[in-house]
Amino acid sequence: MNLHGVRAIYRFEMNRAFRTWMQSLIAPVLTTALYFIVFGSAIGSRMGDIGGVSYGAYIIPGLLMLSLLSESISNSAFGIYMPKWSGTIYELLSAPVNWVEVLLGYVGAAASKSLLVSVLILSTARVFVPYEVAHPVWMVGFLVLTAVTFCLFGFLIGLWSDSFQKLQVIPLLVITPLTFLGGAFYSISMLPPFWQTVSLFNPVVYLISGLRWAFYGHADVHIAVSTSMTLVFMALCLAVVRWVFKTGHRIRR
């Protein structure tokens, strides 16, 4: 494996993030802080506990997942789209790196940035509400798995996009609504039976539920189901990325 190539791509992407640290790191943290102020402090103080957890603490996994998904997709999509837009993608394709090494560099950097934002959000949450993590190892593992999976998904979006506008279509019009409807601010057990069944077709439900279990030890969906669904989606993204590099679809034209 060409580790020098992987390191070069990784360092370039990380340096780009730190050059725009206000947009890459501070903006998502401030946005999440506003959610904590509005939902956690203002509304949460007037709501009861959910499953023995205060409302302000209960929404932490949902808000964390909302930022993690958005940042993972955006960071990875923008990272691979820029070489396409500037034309330097051909230099990358002619370099002595294969598709796995390219993926490690871009997805690794995007996942690192997303996880850094997650750490900042967890630190910010501590300012607004006290919380404890029941399964810290599971929490870290699930965050890493989710970040890598959706960075792969964002990588595909970057390859598919042929304009800056398309980079934001899926994160804004698909992922964000699914997150809000996936139990970020409530438990799906609070819904009528029909809507509970409908919610199970929302893939983000499994992500939020898995992270909530890691925090508090209980969730709407079993942790094994949440982990399995995420692994299947990651495998699917890997298969599509391999096919794209093998065929050159959306890369060489």
pLDDT band for 233, please (50, 70, 90 cuts). Answer: very high
The per-residue pLDDT for 214 is: 93
The candidate with the shortest Cα–Cα distance to 140, out of 115, 111, 107, is 115
Mean pLDDT over 146-158 rounds to 94
Using a pLDDT cut of 70, give the percent of the chain over it.
Answer: 95
The per-residue pLDDT for 236 is: 94
C-alpha distances (whole Å) from 197 to each of 42, 182, 186, 190, 230 are 31, 12, 15, 12, 19
Mean pLDDT over 40-55 rounds to 73
pLDDT band for 40, please (50, 70, 90 cuts). Answer: low
The per-residue pLDDT for 57 is: 86
Mean pLDDT over 158-169 rounds to 85
- 221 Cβ contact list (under 8 Å, min separation 6): 200, 205, 206, 209, 210
Asked if pLDDT for residue 249 goes beyond 80, the answer is no
Structure tokens at 3: 């580790």
Domain ranges of the chain: 3-247
Average pLDDT, the chain: 86
